[in-house]
Amino acid sequence: NEAAASAVLDALNATDSNGTEALNATAKFVATPEGTALAYGSLVFMALLPIFFGALRSVTCSKSKNAADMPETITSRDAARFPIIASCTLFGLYLFFKVFSQEYINLLLSVYFFVLGVLALSHTMSPLMSRIFPASFPNKQYQLLFTQGSGESKEEIVNYEFDTKNLVCLLISSVVGVWYLLKKHWIANNLFGLAFALNGVELLHLNNVSTGCILLGGLFIYDVFWVFGTNVMVTVAKSFEAPIKLVFPQDLLEKGLEASNFAMLGLGDIVIPGIFIALLLRFDVSLNKNSRTYFYSSFLAYIFGLGLTIFVMHTFKHAQPALLYLVPACVGFPVIIALFKGELTEMFRHCTHVHPVQEERLKPRGLI
């Protein structure tokens, strides 16, 4: 799971400042001020959606008794290893693109992310569909169960419960998937990207604030090194054709939906700060004070950090490691507030809920 997560979150952890070179190298394009403002503003708005709604859904997810909705808890050991795994994955992708044909690699990745994207988008749409369908809709229940062994040694491998509404979501998501697979259209890319980001924020849970600081601190160094120290991050970002970035055309006003000169934002710059913001929302809920101080402060800090990233990127015309600005903002703002409120110790002692099924899985690894 960690290697797959690294491939998704870290291959495009940097924001590419020149979408023209990345996706339309045959011709230089100078964006109009209006087109640039629309593109960057849309990227910021799209980045906020999965963080806000993913954080809200993470609260419900942490209380769920359904094993299918079980969150993946990130421990301090996981957080410490993640930048190393991410670096190995990133450099491995870089070598793959240097040695093998980019066309064949991206074909394999397209099929792989088609399957993941359909499942992620289906899971994202499911709560909405439950509200849209009338109560009279014939909603049958299904269960997919795979076990290993027999008798007392029987062990569940997969136990997934779903219903007719979930199948409808899967059908709609498959249509979007085929559209992406055939056309690689930027709207289909963004639908999958938003679904990946929202699912990441909802289902990846930091077990406490200290773990969050370890993860964000490690990826802060990782991001700065691979963007400023080498050309690896930007090379992979420009070569990697998969819905693991949000894009928006800077020439939309001139060319409409067929626009092709994109500004882009890697999903890692959304999910990594997003899971920390979601943790702070769960901390707010645990305080039982009917207040969301830490969530809103970190959410506003994210807006500030992302805006600063775009400003610096646009000013210097160079790819920026967004976590360079996002990590100090998202960690610093809530910590300062906790200091003033005298809740800093309580914040760092707070531990998130660990699902009983996952607790049994973590014990043999010595992680809890």
78 among known catalytic residues: no
CA 93 to chain centre: 19
Distance in angstroms (rounded) separating the CA atoms of residues 208 and 191: 30
Cβ partners under 8 Å of residue 74, min gap 6? 82, 204, 205, 206, 207, 211, 215, 275
Residue carrying the six token digits 């930091």: 206
Kindly name the residue from 78, 223, 251, 284 that is annotated as catalytic: 223
Marked catalytic residue, from 10, 16, 269, 284: 269
Per-residue CA distances from 245 to 13, 108, 158, 284, 318 (Å):
9, 17, 30, 30, 18
Phi, psi of 97 (to 5 degrees): -70, -25
69 a catalytic residue: no
Give dist(CA 279, CA 285) in Å, integer. 10
Separation of alpha carbons 300 and 290, rounded Å: 19
Give the catalytic positions in this structure. 223, 269
